[in-house]
Amino acid sequence: MRRVYLDNAATTAVDGDVLAAMLPYFAKHYGNAASLHSFGQDARQAVEDARQQIASFIGARTEEIIFTGGGTESDNLALKGVASALKTRGKHIITSSIEHHAVSETCGFLEQEGYRVTYLPVDQYGLVDPDGVQKAIEAETIIISIMHANNEIGTIQPIAEIGRIARERGICFHTDAVQTLGHIPVKVNDLNVDMLSASAHKLYGPKGVGILYVRKGTRIDPIMHGGEQERKRRPSTQNVPAVVGFGRAVQLASLRMAEENEIIAGLRDRFIKELTAKIENCRLNGHPSQRLPNNVNISIEYVEGESLILSLDMEGIACSTGSACSSARLEPSHVLMAIGCPHELAHGSLRFSLGRQTTDDDLDYVLDILPAIVTRLRKMSPLYKKGDQVTSR
């Protein structure tokens, strides 16, 4: 059976070059990067080379990069670390209502610890209004965290503008760039950010390794305690092969990103156009142009996202949904709810995320299979039979 992977926002395949760069660090150069002997020095050199590659890719200094165990840990460290360091200055945090759970659940935890959190609304495309950020700032605000691009609907936020506002008011500004690093330009100075989270497995690197960029001078406490690794900001023996893989993945992205983006965005646009033409009562979620080059998120009326995923999987096609059941939560996606998507449409949502390996043929295959699946599922839908119209936008 043909297999088509369109879930690259969930994770990507490790690039062959990345894997080759990592392999010697499992059983040949296996030293602990903190050890003084030559085994340790080899490992340390590899970690520092990767730090340099990543720092130069985002326009940072090497000492501003902290290696972590992934995007979730980076988000936790950013928010809890600053909240702890600045707790005597204030206890107010600003974020958006469409953040990844790595940010929103951390904010929820901080609320239990006595911090107050403002969750800014977004417009119908998922955009945060910089004026709204400005208005939400209080004397007690210590950190603003707004994601660079949304993982479900792909909307890219006006981060540079929000960063300018935060800087004018002297407030630490964090962005979750897990979905953007390696996909669109990410330069910490252009974006006016003080902290930035990223994760290797979203850009053809290994799982379980991330970075937190922390601008020099930013006050942050560690959230784990132990050794002195990562300048005492993140203890634990560095995962050398993964760190090396992250560095190589970033190097490849710096060589290929611009060209790849153009190709992937072209595929995305054709796919959106043909999908919405071939399937009636189907609409695009997210911003029409300010969106990630690889993201297609649609809602299809009168069908369940979960049934669509299972039917597509039987045809070898992998994608994801913001529908309640498949995401193991009771409510449909908080992102789709925040953009005002009616429940019925949120339940029939599909996210296709394209990747380096995606071809026109792959998309033609989906364009061939999906309309037939929708027709079959709709035949079983009492709503569709009644012809009950759910308002389309």
Contact 240, 29 (CB under 8 A): yes
Given the residues 107, 172, 282, 325, select the one marked as catalytic: 325
Stretch of 66-74, 275-283, 300-308, 348-356 lying at the interface with ligand PLP (CB under 6 A): 66-74
**325 catalytic, yes or no?**
yes
104: tokens are: 């929103």
Closest to 212 in 3D by CA, of 161, 257, 178, 254:
178
Which residue minimizes CB distance to ligand PLP?
71
Q: 210 or 222: whose CB is closer to ligand PLP?
A: 210
Q: 44 or 80: whose CB is closer to ligand PLP?
A: 80
Q: Considering CB under 6 A, how many residues would be counted as binding ligand PLP?
A: 13
Q: Is 206 in the site for ligand PLP (CB under 6 A)?
A: no
Letters for 169-198 (x = contact with ligand PLP by CB under 6 A, - = none) are: -------x-xx-------------------
Stretch of 67-75, 106-114, 122-130, 158-166 lying at the interface with ligand PLP (CB under 6 A): 67-75
Q: Is 70 in the site for ligand PLP (CB under 6 A)?
A: yes
Burial of residue 315, with CB atoms counted within 10 A of its CB: 0-12 exposed, 13-18 middle, 19 or more buried: middle
Quote the CA–CA distance of 59 and 56 in Å, as a whole number: 5
Give residue 259's Cα distance to chain centre.
21
DSSP secondary structure letter of residue 218: -
φ/ψ of 318, rounded to 5, equals: -110, 125
Q: Is 242 in the site for ligand PLP (CB under 6 A)?
A: no
Query: Which residue has 């132990």 as its token pair?
Result: 226
Give residue 386's Cα distance to chain centre.
39
Q: Is 151 in the site for ligand PLP (CB under 6 A)?
A: yes
Q: Is 12 in the site for ligand PLP (CB under 6 A)?
A: no
| SS3 assignment, position 270 | helix
Q: Which residues bind ligand PLP (CB under 6 A)?
A: 70-72, 75, 100, 102, 147, 151, 176, 178-179, 199, 210
Residues annotated as part of the active site? 325
